Amino acid sequence: MLEDPSPVVVDLGGLREIGEWLRREAQHLTQDPAREVHFGQYSPCGETNAARWAVLTVLDGHADRADHHRRDITAIASALNDVVTRYEAVDSASAGNLRKLGR
């Protein structure tokens, strides 16, 4: 745990773990359902035809939103990684300064 004069608390290990989890989630969520409809191909029924269209629209919408969501969690994982790197640098600089003071 690293504390500085401002009210900032950063658990670098915890943040790293959360970032890794997000990256794994992005991998798990990669496979979207195929854009296919397996009913009503030969039906003259207007309702069936409308249902085919509706299912395709749902699948399209899901693919778009899922893609957006994946990009979001990847971006957040990257941002967390950035935070960890910057605090590590601060940590390292602080340790160096402390060593200098100790001399």
Partner 1 sequence: MIWSTAWEAYDVPRLWDAVRGESAPMGWEQVFGLQRRADLMGAHADGLRARRELLAEAWQGPSAGPMLGRWDALIATADAEASTLTLAARGLHGIMSALSGAKKRIEPLQRQWNDITSDWIPEYWEEVAAELNDDARTAMLVAAAEIRDHRSRLGVEPTPDGATSPPPALPGYRPASGALAGAPAPVPALAGQPVSMLPIPPGNPYAPQGGAYLLPGPGVGPHGMVVQMAGGPPPASTRRRSSWEIAVGVPPVIQPVTNAPGKPTAEAIAQFDDWFKTFATPWRAR
Instruction: Give the residue from 87, 76, 83, 62 showing the smallest Cα distance to 23.
Output: 76
With binding defined as CB under 8 A, does residue 15 bind partner 1?
A: yes
Contact string 72-101 vs partner 1 (x = CB under 8 A): xx--x--xx--x------------------
The token duo for 32 is 């979207």
Give whichever of 43 and 97 is closer to partner 1, judged by the CB atom.
43
Distance in angstroms (rounded) separating the CA atoms of residues 31 and 20? 19
Start-to-end CA distance of the chain, whole Å, equals 25
Distance in angstroms (rounded) separating the CA atoms of residues 50 and 61? 16
By rule CB under 8 A, what count of residues binds partner 1? 52
The binding site for partner 1 (CB under 8 A) comprises 6-11, 14-15, 17-18, 21, 25, 28-29, 32-34, 36, 38-59, 61-62, 65-66, 68-69, 72-73, 76, 79-80, 83
